[in-house]
């Protein structure tokens, strides 16, 4: 079963209404945020009890990605401005990396 099923003319040609076009726009937006076709079918079904659950899960995933990207940006901004000769000796870089800074004598 397709997500958007067009009507057919008497000659068998596909015929898309304004509603079909609108559904296609929503489908593209859902694909853009990473939804599968199964999830999109549920989201487009106005009576689907799962719709809220799918959308809430996708929002949570986006928020996690956003936090990770913000952390990555902060790390890179710091690296550009870091005054340590080796990033492994920088306490802030080590915090971003989740490790302890290496002391100069340990670095070899």
User: pLDDT tens-digit profile of 23-56?
Assistant: 899 999 999 999 999 899 888 887 667 889 999 9
- The pLDDT of residue 1 is 54
pLDDT band at 65 (very low <50, low <70, confident <90, very high): very high
Secondary structure class of 100 (helix, strand, coil): coil
- The pLDDT of residue 108 is 47
| Contact between residue 99 and residue 85 where contact means Cβ atoms under 8 Å apart | no
Rounded alpha-carbon distances, angstroms, from residue 64 to 67, 68, 76, 95, 97: 5, 6, 18, 19, 18
- To the question of pTM greater than 0.85 for the whole model, the response is no
Whether 93 shows a pLDDT value over 50: the answer reads: yes
Rounded alpha-carbon distances, angstroms, from residue 17 to 1, 20, 21, 77: 18, 5, 6, 50
Residues 98, 104, 108, CA angle at the centre, nearest 5°? 100
- Percent of the chain residues past pLDDT 90, beyond the cut: 31
């Amino acid at each position: 079963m397709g997500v958007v099923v067009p009507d057919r003319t008497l000659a068998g040609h596909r015929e898309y209404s304004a509603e079909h076009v609108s559904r296609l726009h929503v489908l593209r937006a859902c694909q853009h945020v990473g939804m599968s076709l199964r999830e999109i079918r549920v989201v487009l079904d106005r009576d689907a009890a799962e719709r809220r659950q799918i959308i809430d899960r996708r929002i949570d995933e986006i928020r996690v990605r956003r936090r990770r990207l913000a952390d990555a940006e902060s790390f890179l901004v710091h690296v550009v401005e870091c005054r340590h000769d080796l990033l492994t000796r920088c306490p802030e870089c080590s915090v971003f990396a989740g490790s302890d800074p290496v002391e100069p004598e340990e670095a070899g």
